[in-house]
Amino acid sequence: MPHTLTAIDGHEEPIENHSIPKIFFSKVGNQKLRTAIWSGVDKGQGKRTPLLFFNGIGANLEIAQAFADTFTGRDIITFDMPGIGGSPDPTVPYRPWWVAKAARQILQENGYEMVDVLGVSWGGGPAQQFAWQCKDMTRRLVLCATTTGVTMIPGNPKALSKMASPKRYIDRDFLKKNFETLYGDAAGNAGEFSINMMPPSVKGYLYQLMAMMGYSTLPFIRRIKAKSLVIMGDKDHIVPVANGKFLNLMLPRSKLRVIKGAGHLFLLTRREETIEIIRNFFGEFEVDIPHKDAVKLPSVEESFINYQSRFAS
């Protein structure tokens, strides 16, 4: 189906530029979720499988823009968790099974029947949950800097203590000062990470932390049949490489790649190298990037107006 960018007046125009996603609100039960779809540029006979993207804790969908600007061949679908980015605060606590259910509904409402799944850090839990819970929609699974859940091998205590609060999303000076301690990536990358950053609400962040309390993928991970790729950074202060080795051991059809000298945010700080690894796993060729200029995404207010217009009588 063709994807469009809906303007404030409700008029829809075709998207010619992959860098400008369609951003709108999806409704799952009583919860609204701000959703983004980047339209892939490979429209040939062998159009590529769309990619469902689960972001890290506290991370708004705009942070995926740098990845989408480089990985342009296929449609990319992601959404803000409740209380994160432009999504309203959660009304009730939720668990990874609900996140997978929400993703399935969003995909089906937008005409997607089969996807590859990518989960980053916190998003690795919902990604594994989706691959098992929605196996009929999952072709391949990519897990970046993530774990099996509460059964993880813990990282650096200094990094983990700073992860307990959303302060790094609120105070940019704090982020810059503690960037290397937090993630293991060079402090010079803090600006690129924060440029599209939107502070989560305290409630949204806490509920996202709570979603993983006591959760582990071990009860079902051996039943995930999708071909899987696990990517880790050997300088990751939050998720040590041993977690990736354990994932690789437990997933029946998986490969492990470790990026030397990379920290937790290698999908951003070592983007070209990481995307090449993912492309090789998918067995696909690179396509030209159609547009490299900075793109201003539709604001939360514009997205909410678009949401209202969809349900207007």
| Cα torsion through 104, 135, 140, 58, rounded to 10 | 40
Which regions of the chain does DSSP assign to beta strands (E)? Answer: 4-6, 12-14, 22-28, 31-38, 51-54, 76-79, 115-120, 138-144, 227-233, 254-259
* Residues forming beta bridges with residue 33, ordered by sequence position: 26
Our answer to whether residue 165 is catalytic in this structure is no
- Give phi and psi for 259, each to the nearest 5: -90, 115
Could you tell me which of 290, 268, 279 has the C-alpha nearest to residue 19? 290
Give the pair of three-digit tokens for residue 276.
């090449």
Structural Rg of the chain based on CA atoms:
18
Written as six digits, the tokens of 215 are 């959760």
**CA 291 from centroid of its chain's CA atoms:** 22
3-class SS of residue 154: coil
- What one-letter code names the amino acid at 29? G
Whole-number Å distance between alpha carbons of 234 and 266? 10
Q: Exactly one of 87, 121, 201, 228 is catalytic; which is it?
A: 121
Q: Residues in the chain, how many?
A: 313
Please calculate the CA angle 127-210-152 and round it to the nearest 5 degrees: 60
d(CA 85, CA 65): 13
Catalytic residue list: 121
